Amino acid sequence: MPENSAPLRTPFQPPDAPGPLQGLRVLETGDQHLDHCGLLMAAMGADVVKIEPPSGSPSRRIAPFLNDTPDPEHSLFFWAYNRDKRSLVLDLETPAGRQDLLRLLESTDVLLCGRQDELARATGMNLAELGQRFPALITARITPFGDAGPWKDHAGSDLVHLALGGVMMNCGYDPDPSGHYDVPPIAPQAFHASHIAGEQALVGILGALVARHASGQGQDVSCAVHTAVSTSTEMDLMNWVMRGAAQHRQTCRHSAEILNPATPLAQTKDGRWNLGWMVTAGDEANVVRFLQAHGAAHDLTAPDGQRDPKKRDVPGAVPFDEHRAHVFEVVQRFVRGFLYEDLPWQDAQAQGLMWSPLRRPHESLDDPHWQARGSHAWIEHPELGRALPYPRGKWLSTATGWQARRRAPLLGEHTAEVLAERRSAPSVKAVSRPARLSARGKPFALQGVRILDFSWFLASAGGTRMVTALGAECIKVEWKANADARLGANAPEGGREARRTATGPLPGLNLPEMGGHFNHKNAGKRGLSLNIRDPRGLEIARQLVAVSDVVAEGFSPGVMERWGLGYEAMKAIRADIIYVQQSGMGANGLYGRMRTVGPIAAAFTGLSEMSGLPEPAPPAGWGYSYLDWIGAYSFAQAILAGLLHRQRTGEGQWVDASQCESGLMVCGVSALEWAAHRRAFRRNGNRSPWNTCAPHGAYRCLGHDRWIAIACETQAAWEAFVRASGVTALASDARFATLAGRLAHQDELDALVEQWTRTQEPYACMALLQAAGVSAGVCQSAEDRCEHDPQLAQEQWMTEVAAEKIGTWPITEMPFKLSATPSHVGGLPDRGAPLYGEDNEYVLGELLGYSTSTIRDLARDDVI
């Protein structure tokens, strides 16, 4: 197995350090939608006991299998998502099994499960009765579509959730020159709907655990996969909400309101790919200088000096530019001169370029940066006589470690052990404190927590948005010389009324206070403008550290230290401070200075290369910054984990979080597949990963660019599809009688399925198939989700918030629902995002005690 090849410069905790959830017991019972969330809790140190029926968990039957031989003990999927858990076999259909479950619940902190009716069958009690009998218990439920509503009983699948949630309509390939999409939308592979829901559910669970410390009471946390996926796209949602503008798919780059044929993808001479990203004129200048140094700039010159070198283009909103396209063409010519292994991407990064090779996921195993950070753990499999690699965790910490010690359990391996244990009930003492009710009329989960927020963009600002919605007071610090990006999805002239009456896309006002994306990412925060480079500004920041629980930042590594606000400096101010920083690669390791944005992170971790049509087609990648969102979930989790650890021990910590490591955590199956079989993940369009069911794809329907996703995951579902569609050719064709036959003839099968779906209105087709028990869902756009999706309306997935200047607009709420301490995206101030420096007087006057005249002097001197 590989050895670490470079030391870390900071004494972070070793892998055997206790995790932030150490001492907690979690019972997990349900299907594969729960596996990822349970894995994260086990990796954070909780004792996760997986309750399995005598036949084993459904995820034991998910491919790929060791040596390609189906065996419930050899599913690489099960191994990847269930390491560090224990297996307990209980037959919950019997009174004895139910009694054992109830006895175990007496000493359980979190019950991770599914729908309410499944929970009632397993325990014989409804949620209210469970809460009365086990007052400290947190029930954490991940359901396909939620507890109520017209789609609550619909059949879901990873493909169908990615379709209905809008992901697929953002991901795919460019249209043909006439603007017609000749390739269907592409579902990024694999199992990302469950990843998205599991990540967001965990934020809710951690919030409920923090709240329990104060109240002594557990509560119900529920998260619908459909709602979680629907809230996780990027540019499309607010562009539709604010301006009525639609997004269009583009090859391996952001979906766009304005299609742009210039691509940042460049192919090497041996058919691999490099991604080069430019978002400012400064980035373009770096590209030109780099190419000039290699004698490959040709006719390129530095960009016009009148352009602001720091002004960021909004992805997908910039019209086609012949000059920019020509820059990409010159870069492509340069990259074509190299073999993939010889790409000078590190030299490019050293010159300030955002370049990354499109790696395959297994290639991260041998990377010295990830080896130095211990990003993968090699876990022994005694039955195989060898160790296999698993992603360890998503951050490093000076106080806690991620656990990666045991291979996934054999079926029932720990049954006797768990049933023989005698544990005491959770010991939770309520801490008396005044409760401030949220706009929901209930207390917040994070009562009394204050965050000093140096985040920006989505990967970090989106994380502090989540804890703000849980009730933390969040003070967002900006300075005009390098302020957060406020433009994008800007409100139109005439505001909400103009949007209501519009019959087409509206132009947005080019004013920073009108940015819909900024409003969406920063709702509920306080706004402080502060020049920390001024000694008086630095002193204000130090005073805010003293009255804050958490300092959160998303700058390039080293920025805070250069300001005099590194961890040791902050710890000297407040000994128990929790400092959570996030960068693309993490602050420690060989690539700490590597420049990343979401697409670069996806390229480097292997996620971009996993999605699309088979080679030689280029990868389709992600049509939005998926790892910005995953990074945001992880950022919020790190903050909450730090608070939980401090509640238990009184100890603060420094967390060094990596956006890319969040991506590695969802590539575990591919890493195992490589280690076990030396087989790299291969793209297969919308077909099921590892060819486990057919039909499985997106099929054209009536209407312009209308598609429906269909996944027949069992023989019964296939037969139901044939009956519902009435396609007699399918019923009578011997090629399709068995799964093996359908897999062998997928091209012919897909053609016949689409021959039928082309005659169908998409929502009627979905209703017909769902009524027959077939997992099917329309590939929904932002318009569909906002205007036509009855289930999202039932889930109340959006909340109206008001902000100065921009007015009142709907933005997405947290998809997890906490019964006792519900989130509210407007946070403590019950409003949208702050204007630049909007709360200077509140922060300086009320929190720090500065006089009005002093505040005026600071403003006059350009300190605030």
CA distance 552 to 572: 17
Sorting pLDDT into bands at 50, 70 and 90, what band is 677? Answer: very high
pLDDT in tens, 518-528: 999 999 999 99
CA distance 621 to 403: 30
CA distance 284 to 278: 6
For the segment 391-396, the average pLDDT, to the nearest whole number, is 96
pLDDT in tens, 585-636: 999 888 988 888 889 999 999 999 999 999 999 999 999 999 999 999 999 9
pLDDT in tens, 243-299: 999 999 999 999 999 998 889 999 999 999 999 988 788 888 999 999 999 999 999
Q: What is the pLDDT of residue 235?
A: 92
pLDDT in tens, 431-446: 666 678 888 999 999 9
Q: What is the pLDDT of residue 8?
A: 52
Q: What is the pLDDT of residue 6?
A: 44
Task: Please state whether beta strands 25-28 and 110-113 pair in parallel, antiparallel, or not at all (unpaired).
Answer: parallel
Sorting pLDDT into bands at 50, 70 and 90, what band is 785? Answer: very high
What is the separation, in whole angstroms, between the first and last Cα of the chain? 53
CA distance 664 to 599: 14
Lookup: tokens for 515: 């940015």
Q: What is the pLDDT of residue 433?
A: 64
Q: What is the pLDDT of residue 597?
A: 84
Q: Are 432 and 454 in contact (CB under 8 A)?
A: no
Q: Give every strand in the sheet of 354-357, ordered side by side.
A: 265-267, 273-277, 354-357
For the segment 406-418, the average pLDDT, to the nearest whole number, is 98
Residue 13 pLDDT exceeds 90: no
CA distance 752 to 770: 19
The number of angstroms, rounded, from the C-alpha of 700 to the middle of its chain's C-alpha atoms is: 28
Q: Mean pLDDT over all residues of the chain?
A: 94
Q: What is the pLDDT of residue 638?
A: 97
Per-position DSSP letters for 467-507, written without gaps between them: HHHTT-EEEEEE-GGGPPP--SSBPBTTHHHHHHH-SS--P
CA distance 429 to 437: 21
Q: Are 722 and 730 in contact (CB under 8 A)?
A: yes
Q: What is the pLDDT of residue 3?
A: 37
Q: What is the pLDDT of residue 10?
A: 58
CA distance 28 to 110: 8
Helix residue spans in 607-682 (DSSP H): 626-649, 659-664, 668-677
- Strand ranges for 351-426 from DSSP E: 354-357, 376-381, 386-391, 395-397
Residue 422 pLDDT exceeds 80: yes
Nearest to 737 by CA among 725, 749, 753, 752: 749
CA distance 708 to 29: 31
CA distance 715 to 403: 39
pLDDT in tens, 113-136: 999 999 999 999 999 999 999 999
Peptide bond into 281 cis (omega under 30): no
∠ CA 365-558-571, rounded to 5°? 105
Sorting pLDDT into bands at 50, 70 and 90, what band is 692? Answer: confident
Sorting pLDDT into bands at 50, 70 and 90, what band is 5? Answer: very low
List for the chain the helix, strand, coil content (%; round to 5). 40, 15, 45
Sorting pLDDT into bands at 50, 70 and 90, what band is 7? Answer: very low
CA distance 396 to 587: 10
Peptide bond into 382 cis (omega under 30): no
Nearest to 697 by CA among 618, 627, 613: 613
Q: 524 or 316: whose pLDDT is higher?
A: 524
The number of angstroms, rounded, from the C-alpha of 530 to the middle of its chain's C-alpha atoms is: 30
Long-range contacts of 180-184 (CB under 8 A, 24+ apart): 181/249, 181/705, 183/613, 184/686, 184/697, 184/698, 184/699, 184/700, 184/707, 184/779
Find tokens 């059949």 and name the residue.
155
Q: What is the pLDDT of residue 2?
A: 36
Find tokens 């990963």 and name the residue.
689
∠ CA 808-797-600, rounded to 5°? 90
Window from 23-32, 435-444, 754-763, 852-861 with minimum mean pLDDT: 435-444
Strand partners, 803: 807
CA atoms within 13 A on the CB side of 619: 32
Lookup: tokens for 20: 């932030």
CA distance 400 to 365: 23
pLDDT in tens, 290-312: 999 999 999 988 887 777 777 77
Sorting pLDDT into bands at 50, 70 and 90, what band is 657? Answer: very high
For the segment 521-541, the average pLDDT, to the nearest whole number, is 97
Contacts of 508 (CB under 8 A, 6+ apart): 242, 243, 489, 490, 491, 492, 514, 516
* Residue 148 phi, psi dihedral angles, 5° rounding: -145, 165
Sorting pLDDT into bands at 50, 70 and 90, what band is 379? Answer: very high
Nearest to 588 by CA among 103, 6, 2: 6
Long-range contacts of 744-747 (CB under 8 A, 24+ apart): 746/687, 746/694, 746/695
Q: What is the pLDDT of residue 17?
A: 86
Window from 259-263, 316-320, 571-575 with minimum mean pLDDT: 316-320
The number of angstroms, rounded, from the C-alpha of 773 to the middle of its chain's C-alpha atoms is: 29
Nearest to 102 by CA among 73, 70, 129, 72: 129
Find tokens 């000076």 and name the residue.
398
For the segment 565-589, the average pLDDT, to the nearest whole number, is 95
Taking the C-alpha atoms of 444, 445, 449 and 450 in order, what is their torsion angle to the nearest 10 degrees? -60
Residue 639 pLDDT exceeds 90: yes
CA distance 243 to 507: 7
For the segment 678-692, the average pLDDT, to the nearest whole number, is 91
Sorting pLDDT into bands at 50, 70 and 90, what band is 808? Answer: very high
Q: What is the pLDDT of residue 431?
A: 65
Q: 318 or 328: whose pLDDT is higher?
A: 328
Cβ of 317: how many Cβ atoms within 10 Å? Answer: 20
